[in-house]
Structures are given as structure tokens and as C-alpha cells.
């Protein structure tokens, strides 16, 4: 990761150029204030999903079901779906 300190002359173009090499941590007074990373459409989709309250709730429900033993093995699922 590349660290760049915020200065009065720092431009987004400077950060963008360094981003071609690696992720960039933007620093202010020695403290990290931002992480700039190259992303694609798939990563943006999953980032949005991770913030969706309905998605988070569905994960919590799935964990509760698993804890109660309400799950099936991968092999049993393949049999149920007729997949060999």
C-alpha cells in the first residue's frame, strides 16, 4: 500500500496515478483518513449488498437456522436437486 499525505497541493490526479501501482492510503497529520482502491462492477455490487439491511438480516436468519440444525449437507442438496 502506498501512503500519501494530504497537502495543499495534492490533487486527485496524483492519487489516481499512484493507484495504478497499488492501493493508496490517504494520510492527514500521520493518520489514515481514506483508502483508495481500484474496483470493478462486481466489487461495487457486493459492497452495496454488504450494506443492505435486508441482506444483513438474511445472513443473520441463515446463521440462526444453521445453529438450530436446519441445514443440509452439500451432498444431500445435490441429491435433492438431482445433480450428480
Which residues 6+ apart lie within 8 Å of 80 measured at CB?
Answer: 72
* Run of H or E including 56: helix 53-67
Task: Look at the pTM and tell me if it is higher than 0.75.
Answer: no
Same domain, 50 and 70: yes
Domain that holds residue 75: 43-81
Residues 22 and 47 in one domain: no
Tell me the per-residue pLDDT of 3-62, one tens digit each, with 9 for 90 and over: 999 999 999 999 999 999 999 999 999 999 999 998 899 999 999 999 999 999 999 999
Residue 61: predicted pLDDT: 96
Q: 7 and 28 share a domain?
A: yes
Domain count, the chain: 2
> What is the sign, positive or negative, of the torsion defined by CA atoms of 29, 30, 31, 32?
positive
Residue found under cell 493518520: 31
Specify whether 48 is located in the same domain as 76: yes
Amino acid at each position: 500500500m502506498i501512503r500519501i499525505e494530504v497537502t495543499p497541493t495534492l490533487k486527485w490526479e496524483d492519487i489516481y496515478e499512484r493507484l495504478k501501482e497499488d492501493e493508496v492510503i490517504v494520510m492527514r497529520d500521520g493518520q489514515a483518513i481514506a483508502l483508495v482502491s481500484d474496483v470493478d462492477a462486481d466489487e461495487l455490487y457486493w459492497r452495496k449488498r454488504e450494506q443492505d439491511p435486508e441482506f444483513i438480516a438474511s445472513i443473520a436468519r441463515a446463521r440462526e437456522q444453521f445453529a438450530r440444525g436446519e441445514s443440509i449437507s452439500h451432498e444431500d442438496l445435490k441429491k435433492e436437486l438431482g445433480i450428480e
